[in-house]
A = this chain, B = another copy of it.
Amino acid sequence: MEIKGARKGNNDLLRHHNRALIVNLLRRKGPLSRAELSRLTGLAPSALSRLSAALISQGLVRELGKTPSPSGRPPILLGLNPDYAFSIGVKIEARRVLAARVNLLGQVQEEDAVPFDDPSPGAVLPVLEQTIRSVFRGKVLGIGIAVSGFVDSVAGVCLFSPILGWHGVELAPPLEEHFEVPVHVENDVNALTLAEARYGAGRELSDFLCVTVGEGLGAGIVIGGRLYRGAFGGAGEFGHTLFDPRGPRCRCGERGCLEVFASDQFLRREADALGLSSVEALAARAREGDPAAGAAFRALGENLGYGLKDLVNLLNPEAIVIGGERTSTDGDLFIPYTEEILRAHAFAGAAERVRLVRAELGEEGFLVGAAEVFVESFFAAPLG
């Protein structure tokens, strides 16, 4: 529900509408005085006073410190109480579960991580419950689960996750029964994309891609300011587009997927070849100036650049936001090469104009984005 302006009248529906209008103004613009709210909503000062008193007694709005005023007494500011309600954002990674309590402004209040060895659904479900329980406090609107792979958000099922080896794993039904709040399942990259669109590098963008480089390679697609999930909820599997038909087999079962050439999987193979035990060791070597280690990151960057060139020719976004675990820690080692390839090889007309920017939210973005669906629906009807 997009709230456009105040309406006059005296029934419950109008009071509801006008209170929602005030709450959304405070959310978007930050603290405001009653006079400013009156001007912005068009509501009479007396009506505004009544409505704000109700919101304050509900606990959703609170009075903040006074601002200095050149003349007369400083006005009291009204602000949203961001801790009035929370959503739980969860991310299921290859070997651990992360969960966070996220407030109404998309801020993480508390976070927990629990590792697991056995990725079978029966073993992960108790870990999920435990991690969520440790941050589950206050008025919880719902639980959003971000998971790698192809999900059916409506049914709350992970249909296929190459990284976890999952096929058709029901997530929402058991968690809804356990916690007695709604549970929403989202592809992990889509969750990050939602967070970047709302709070991060995509705030001012209308058509953009959010690409993540980490254990896997994925993309979220925003078109006209809205996340595009595809007709069946599985859009954005950028990592599972063809890069080299003669390449190694991918975890998804296909040969030569881009993910094999532009993710931690690639860097691990390169580290192995150099006798190094981990991607972190490879990155340390590259930072020390070791040419072979540097070349490994450069190759990843160039491979990603060719993949992004395809995305730009196909989708012609105004910007590409690059995030994900590997970008957070080592983006400087490969993104310059990515950009070089992209600019040199994408079609003229897009190659010069598309912007390449870093994600702003880091790892927490996945959790904030997973929770975001409940924040959005709260502000659509913020009197629950």
Interface of A with B (CB < 8 Å)? 150, 152, 159-160, 167, 206-207, 219, 221, 223-224, 228-238, 240-246, 252, 254, 306-307, 309-311, 313-318, 345, 347-350, 353-354
Q: Evaluate contact between A316 and B231: CB separation under 8 angstroms.
A: yes
Chain B nearest Cβ from A220, distance in angstroms: 11
User: Which B residues are in CB contact (< 8 Å) with A353?
Assistant: 231-232
Which 6 pairs between the two chains have the least Cβ-Cβ distance?
Answer: A230-B316, A231-B318, A237-B313, A241-B310, A235-B316, A159-B349
Smallest Cβ-Cβ distance to A311: which chain B residue: B314
Known A-B contacts A160-B347, A348-B150; the reply to A317 vs B231 at CB < 8 A is yes
8 contacts between A and B (CB under 8 A): A150-B350, A230-B317, A230-B350, A232-B350, A238-B313, A242-B243, A242-B307, A243-B245
Give the contacting residue for A347; candidates B221, B234, B311; CB below 8 A.
B234
Taking CB as reference atom, which chain B residue is nearest A233? B316
Q: Determine the residue in chain B with the shortest Cβ distance to A247.
A: B245
Q: How far is the CB of A95 from chain B (nearest CB, A)?
A: 23
Q: Are A349 and B152 in contact (CB under 8 A)?
A: yes
Contact check, B232 vs A318: say whether CB atoms are below 8 A apart.
yes
Q: How far is the CB of A258 from chain B (nearest CB, A)?
A: 9
Q: Chain A interface secondary structure, helix, strand, loop or mixed? A: loop
Having A150-B349, A230-B316, A245-B306, one finds 13 other A-B pairs with CB under 8 Å, namely A150-B347, A159-B349, A230-B317, A231-B318, A232-B318, A232-B350, A234-B350, A236-B316, A238-B314, A241-B313, A242-B306, A242-B309, A244-B245
Contacts of A237 in B (CB 8 A): 313-314, 347
With known contacts A223-B228, A241-B310, A235–B347 Cβ distance under 8 A: no
Q: How far is the CA of A49 from the CA of B229 in the complex (A)?
A: 47
With both chains docked as a complex, state the minimum distance between the C-beta of A251 and any C-beta of chain B, in angstroms: 12
Q: Are B207 and A231 in contact (CB under 8 A)?
A: yes
Contact of A314 with B349 in the complex, beta carbons under 8 Å: no
Q: Which residues does chain B contribute within 8 Å of A229, judged by CB atoms?
A: 316
Q: Are B316 and A234 in contact (CB under 8 A)?
A: yes
Across the two chains, which residue of chain B brings its CB closest to A206?
B231
- The residue in chain B whose Cβ has the minimal distance to the Cβ of A310 is B241
CA A219 – CA B159 in complex, angstroms? 28
A246 to B247, CA, bound (A): 11
Q: Which residue of B lies closest to A149 (CB)?
A: B347
Q: Which residues of B contact A310 (CB under 8 A)?
A: 240-242
In the complex, what distance in Å separates the CA atom of A347 from the CA atom of B207?
25
Distance in Å from the Cβ of A212 to the closest Cβ of chain B?
14
CB distance from A239 to the nearest CB of B (A): 9
Please name the residue on chain B nearest to A228 by beta carbon.
B223
A313-B240 in contact (CB<8A): yes
Report whether B316 and A314 are in contact in the complex, using a CB–CB cutoff of 8 Å.
Answer: no
Contacts of A238 in B (CB 8 A): 313-314
